[in-house]
Amino acid sequence: MLLVKDTKDRFGLVSVFLHWYIAATILFLIMSGATIHFVGVHGPLRPLRESLTWWHMSFAITAAPFILYRIYWRLHFGKPKTHTQHRFFQFIADAVWRLLLLVVACQVITGPSRQLTRPEALQWFGHTVIPVQTWIAGDYSDFLRRLHFFGAMTIACLLVLHIGGALKHVIINRDQVLQRMVWPFAPKTALRQAPGPRRSPYTHQSLRRDKHGTNRRVVFPDALLKFPDDPK
């Protein structure tokens, strides 16, 4: 059965979609941002840098509302407990994904702020989202650029730890943690009959006549009786 919302031990469709969409977007933003940072403003690669800046900005603006909604979703519904492990590894895993959400949220703020301090318009696939704000222009552009770059490098380091933890579950633990993040379906379980009231081990009764001709009630254990539907 398809799970839309998270359960106590499984991720739903919303979490799975947000996780992989934002993960793919972040990987592209890190690679394109690193290229923009190390390619000079002037030189033969300037057209490539301008093109990457256009795509980088557009993809980041597209992902921003999904990132904020993912943070709200996780804070509101909590994180499913998909596995158990040593407290040390559990502490590291929880710290990594919380720091990832925090730093990514900061990137959503520092990226557009740096763009507006240049001053340049904030554009989304050629459409102006926020026009030029001359009053913001100042000496903060270089500081925000460095802050945005260091935030991206922090995300890259946290991603290495996050991916390493996922590989640990696949190779060493060999549990289904990764499968639960990929496959938002509940496992098929066999239909079980609802348990009835508890029965005493001595529940079969019958009347027997003893040698004196008196009727007496005799109780037999179920385990000693044979029924037609019992397996031989």
One-letter amino acid at 20 equals: W
Which tens digit of pLDDT belongs to each residue from 2-20? Answer: 889 998 888 999 999 999 9
Q: Rounded to whole angstroms, how far apart are CA atoms 158 and 96?
A: 6
**Predicted local confidence at residue 219, as pLDDT:** 55
pTM: 0.74
Hey, CA dihedral for 40, 41, 45, 50, is it positive or negative? Answer: positive
- Residue 129: in which H helix or E strand, if any? strand 127-130
Kindly list the structural domains of the chain, giving each domain's residue range(s) and its CATH number in brackets, ordered by start.
13-182 (1.20.950.20)
Contacts of 80 (CB under 8 A, 6+ apart): 6, 7, 8, 9, 10, 11, 180
Do the beta carbons of residue 222 and residue 204 sit within 8 Å?
yes
User: % helix / strand / coil in the chain, to the nearest 5?
Assistant: 55, 10, 35
**Predicted local confidence at residue 211, as pLDDT:** 63
Q: Rounded to whole angstroms, how far apart are CA atoms 62 and 71?
A: 16
**Predicted local confidence at residue 205, as pLDDT:** 53
**Predicted local confidence at residue 44, as pLDDT:** 86
**DSSP letters for 181-232:** HH--BPPP----PPP-----S--EEEEEE-TTS-EEEEEE-GGG---TTS--
Q: Between these two residues, 148 and 119, which has the higher pLDDT value? A: 148
**Predicted local confidence at residue 115, as pLDDT:** 85
One-letter amino acid at 111 equals: G
